Amino acid sequence: MLEKPAGADARTYLKQRSVTSELSTAYRLGYASDQRDGLVKHLMANGARLESALTLGIIRKGEHGWHDLLRNRLIFPISDSKGQIIGFAGRVLDASLPKYINSPESPLYRKSSVLFGLDMALPAIRTSRSVIIVEGYFDHLALYRAGVKNVVATCGTALTATHTSLIARHASRVYTLFDSDSAGGKATVRAMELFLEQRLPAYVISLPSGEDPDSFLAKNPVEAFLSCRDSARPAFDYFIRSLLAETPADSVDSKVRILDELIPRFRKIADPVERDLYEKEICRLLGITPHAFRKRMGGMSITAASLQDIGHQTGQRAGDGPQETLLNLMGMYPEAREEVVRFGPDLLFSGEYLALAHLILATADDQDGRALSRLAGTIEQPGLATLLSRLLVSENHLADIDWRMAFDQCRKIRERQALPSMKDIAARLAVVDPGSDEYAELVRQADALRAQKSKL
C-alpha cells in the first residue's frame, strides 16, 4: 500500500523525515489507508479467517460489522528476535492524537517480552556486547540510519524484567536514552532498578535539553552522538545527581528525604566494591558520615548532630570560621557578593575557600539568595563538596549576622597574615651589626609593623 497512489501522503511524510526507500525497505514500513475496512476486505479476498485476525487484534468487530484497527497511519511492523512479524505500530501523519496505536496483546505478541528492532540489532549487539535502549520508533530509525545499529526500542510500554533478562543474554553493558521529561525520568529510574537486579552495568546517555536522537542527529554528525554515549553516566550515579538537582541537600530534612529515595535502590547493588564506592560518594555529596548513612539504612532516625559530625568522624580540620561565615553570607546576600567582587576575593579568601568563592560568584545571579543550595550536587572535587556541605548545614544559623562585619573580619585577618613576621625581624636583628643601615631599617619595619597591627 505504501508504494500505491493511496500511499502518497505517507511517502511525502517519510521524505520529510529523511527516510529513504532503502531504509523503508529495511524496516518493512507500510501504510494503512483511511478506508474503514481496507484490511478486512484484503483478508477476505485472500481467504484469510477474520476470526484469526480478530484474535491478533489487527481488526475489530462492532455493531456495524468488521473494521480495521489502524487507518491512515504509517505502519511499523514489530518482529520477534528471529525477524518474524508478530504485531504492528501505526503512526499518524500529522499532529493528531494518539500519535501511535500498537497492536494489542495476542498469542503472538507480548509487549513485556518484545523489543522493537532486536532482530536488526542482534549482530551489532553481539559484536559490541552493548545495547542502546530508546523509547520511540523514529529514535530507533534515526540511530540505525546513522550507523548506530546496536539499538532497540520499547514498544509503547515500560521496560520489564523480561526485557532485561532478554538483553542480558546478549549484552554485558546497557545504555538508556529516554525522554528528558518526567515520564522519561521515571522510565530511567525503573530501568536502573531492573538492571541492578540483573547485575548488568547500565549507563544513561544525556542529550542537550529538548533533543531526542532523531532531532539531535538531524543537526549533528554521528560522532557527536557517540561522544554523548561515551560520556554517559552510570545509571545509579545519574540517579543520585538527579535527586540532588530536584532536592538540594541544604537541610537535615532534605538530606533524609534524599537518603530515603536512594537507600532502596542502593540495596539492589550486589557488588561489594561498588556498594562501598557509592556509599562514600553519597556521603560526600550529602556531607554526612558513613555512620549516619548506615543508621538510615537500618531504618533508624538520624539527627542534625549525626549529620554535622563529618569533620570529627573523618579527622578533617574544623575549618576557618571567618572565611566560612563570609562564604555563607555571600550565598545569602547579593550585596555581599558585590562587595567581595569590588574588593577582590583573592584578598579575602585562600585555598578551597577562594575556589568556592569563585564558584559562588560565577553561578549566582543578581537576586539569588540561595546560591549555595544551587551548587549542591554540582561540585566534583571532594574537598570543595565537603566544605559546601558544612556550609549548607550551618547557614540557617547565620540569618541575623551582618555580612559587613564578617567581611571586615576576613579583611583584617588576611591583612594581618600578609604582614611580615615580628619573629623574622627579631631573628635578623640578632645577627645584624647594630650600627649598620640594615639594622636601622629593620627597627623601622618593626615599629611600622606594631603600628599596623594596632589598627587591625
Answer yes or no: are the C-beta atoms of 199 and 270 closer than 8 Å. yes
Query: Is the pLDDT assigned to residue 289 strictly greater than 90?
Result: no
DSSP code at position 333 = -
- Give backbone dihedrals phi and psi of 403, rounded to 5 degrees, phi first: -65, -25
Confidence check: pLDDT of 332 > 80: yes
CA 126 – CA 151 distance, rounded (Å): 12
Contacts of 285 (CB under 8 A, 6+ apart): 240, 241, 244, 249, 376, 377, 385, 389
User: In terms of pLDDT, which residue wins out, 411 or 449?
Assistant: 411
Partners of residue 133 on adjacent β-strands? 152, 176
For the cut 70, the answer to whether the pLDDT of residue 307 exceeds it is no
Helix axes of 422-429 and 437-455: crossing angle, nearest 10 degrees: 160
What is d(CA 146, CA 349) in angstroms, rounded to the nearest whole number? 51
Q: What is the dihedral of CA 261, 267, 269, 275, to 10 degrees?
A: 90
- The secondary structure element, H or E, covering residue 116 is strand 115-116
User: CB-based burial of residue 374 (10 Å sphere; 0-12 exposed, 13-18 middle, 19+ buried)?
Assistant: middle
Closest CA to 115 of 89, 142, 148, 146: 89
The CA distance from 108 to 88, in Å, is 12
pLDDT at 312: 39
Q: Range with the lowest mean pLDDT among 117-131, 134-148, 185-199, 432-446?
A: 432-446
- And the C-alpha cell for 109? 505478541
Is residue 302 over pLDDT 70? Answer: no
Neighbours of 141 (CB within 10 A): 26
Could you tell me the three cell numbers for 61? 468487530
Cell 518493512, located at residue = 28
Looking up cell 484469526 gives 52
Which residues are paired to 77 by β-bridges?
A: 88
21 pLDDT above the threshold of 60:
yes
In 294-402, where do the E strands start and end?
none
No. of helices (H) and no. of strands (E), the chain = 24, 12
For the whole model, what pTM was predicted? 0.67
> What pLDDT is stored for residue 95 in this prediction?
87
Distance CA 210, CA 413 (A): 49
> Which residues does 172 contact at the CB level (< 8 Å), separation at least 6?
129, 130, 200, 201
**Cα maximum dimension of the chain:** 124
End-to-end CA distance of the chain: 89
**H helices present in 57-212, as ranges:** 118-128, 137-145, 161-168, 182-198
DSSP letter (8 states) at residue 105:
P
Q: Give per-residue pLDDT as tens, 239-279.
A: 998 888 888 887 888 889 999 999 999 999 988 889 999 99
